[in-house]
Amino acid sequence: MPEGFATSDRLQYSQLPLNSASTRKGLREEPDSSSGSKPHHAAGQQSGVEWRPAGTDLQGQKLAFVGMTSESYDQIRVWLQYHQTLGVSLFYLFVDGQAARPEVQAQLMLLPGVTVIARDEELIERQAHSRIWNETWLAAFFHKPCNHELFVRQSLNMEIAIEMATKDSVDWLLHIDTDELMYPGGNDGFSLQHVLAAFADDVDTVVFPNYESLPESDKVHDPFTEVTLFKRNYAHVLSESYFKSYHTVARGNPNYFITYGNGKSAARVRPGLRPNGAHRWYNYFRAPIRRDRCDCAPTEDDAKRCFILPFDRSAFLAASLKTDDELLDWFNERLVWNDQAVVTEMLKNGLFVRIFAPQILVRGFQAMNTQTNVKGTQDMQLPVLPDPEMNHKLTQQQQQQQQQQQQQQQQQQQQKQQQTVPSVIQPAEVKAAIVDNTVVEGAAQAVQQAADSVLTTAKDASDAVVAEVKAAATA
């Protein structure tokens, strides 16, 4: 068994964290060198390894994600691009909120490898007959409000995703939310496919411990691009440091992590697979703001009835009972890490870590999506939605506007072929952008320049981290 992994029967725990961050040459977690103890990074990390996209057929492993989302199209698209870079080829998205709007569903359906599942009558009826309702371990969550209901819906969605993954011949299935990013920082190629391909065939489940993002300001709007400070999972820190600094890190919150700390898992898609909650799998055959989203009363008793996690209860009561100014103070006191002396100390003892890889990649995707003249699926004819009621919502006026916009864009493309630049990992977009060989050549150069820019920015970030570590070590 390679260093960095521990096994328990048919379940294995990967030392690679799950969360958001950014890329650099080497893909190492620099602050480890200042801790004065053994390095905390995963096995396989080496300096000087140049990042390259993993591709979608590496090692013959076919990976799929399942998740619920209520985000905007632009946010979901960047999330998809990032994980396609890691080698994930299929995505089963159960849409809600803004993501359930007809125009957003239509755009998502155009993206390669994306399956959109709306919460319509057909889905509700199908889930009403799910065997999930026979699970005794889940019975305590049935017919309860707020995140109890969310937990049950996630399990129901995961069961349907298993059926889809089986039909699609998927090797590994993971349940990941669109506010989370996988980070295979311990792999030389930054490839989730490489990580999962390393496990023996008799390993059914791999657990990825999660890291928790730590905002250093109350002005953060996009954690993926603005946050680089993370709280390590307690599975990745020395026990001595963990207990010594527990109260400092918890900051008055009920637990070490404000949300879950048991990670997320990947499962081999085999007969008998079933969800075991939102974070785990099992095999039958083998061993937005609380005040706006919940109608529970702001009392201790109702909070316990409505919310699973202690921090969720505290946050709900604070959001319900405090003024905006009081709520901002509560947020800063418990969640914002703006005391640089404390941050530096936690970096030195290994409880915190700076991670830059996802941040730089996400920023790169956002910039390319903004600059491209093709603008992905916005240049394409929206498909006919399977639900007649949703089709009706795409009015004749909207369709006429789409046609006019397409005609204008086609004229612009003919006049400015040299300026057409496709997105990095959207084959359908590249195909749409191709007019002649000149455009193909220009697009290839643009992609290469974008990749060079990412690596250059990564090196600058690496140098900055080294300087920070040296300063912390001498403090």
| Residue-wise DSSP of 184-202 | -TTSTT--HHHHHHTS-TT
**SS3 (DSSP) at 407:** helix
Greater model confidence, 243 or 470: 243
Average pLDDT over every residue of 182-198: 88
Closest CA relative to residue 106, chosen from 402, 370, 409, 400? 402
Domain count, the chain: 1
Closest CA relative to residue 117, chosen from 95, 89, 144, 136? 95
Let me know: does 416 contact 125? Beta carbons within 8 Å.
no
- Residue 443 falls inside a structural domain: no
- Residue 380 falls inside a structural domain: no
Residue 399 has pLDDT above 70, yes or no: no
Indicate the pLDDT class of residue 29, thresholds 50, 70 and 90.
very low
pTM of the model: 0.57
H or E segment and range at residue 285: none
The beta-carbon contacts of 327-334 under 8 Å, at least 24 apart in sequence, are 328/218, 331/218, 332/218, 333/251, 333/252, 334/251, 334/252, 334/253, 334/258
Q: What distance in Å separates the CA atoms of residue 209 and residue 19, rounded to the nearest whole number?
A: 9
183 is in which domain, residue-wise? Answer: 5-358
- Residue 244 falls inside a structural domain: yes
- Residue 97 falls inside a structural domain: yes
- Residue 400 falls inside a structural domain: no
Of 43-47, 191-195, 263-267, 443-447, where does mean pLDDT reach its minimum?
43-47
Q: What distance in Å separates the CA atoms of residue 419 and residue 442, rounded to the nearest whole number?
A: 8
- Residue 270 falls inside a structural domain: yes
- Residue 88 falls inside a structural domain: yes
Average pLDDT over every residue of 405-414: 67
Q: What is the pLDDT of residues 35-88, one digit of tens each?
A: 333 333 333 333 333 444 444 444 568 999 998 899 999 999 999 999 999 999
Burial of 240 (0-12, 13-18, 19+ CB in 10 A): exposed
| Backbone φ/ψ region at 19: left (φ over 0), alpha (ψ -120 to 50), beta | left
Average pLDDT over every residue of 346-358: 89
- Residue 404 falls inside a structural domain: no
Residue 241 DSSP code: H
Q: Which amino acid is at 26?
A: G
Let me know: does 83 contact 180? Beta carbons within 8 Å.
no
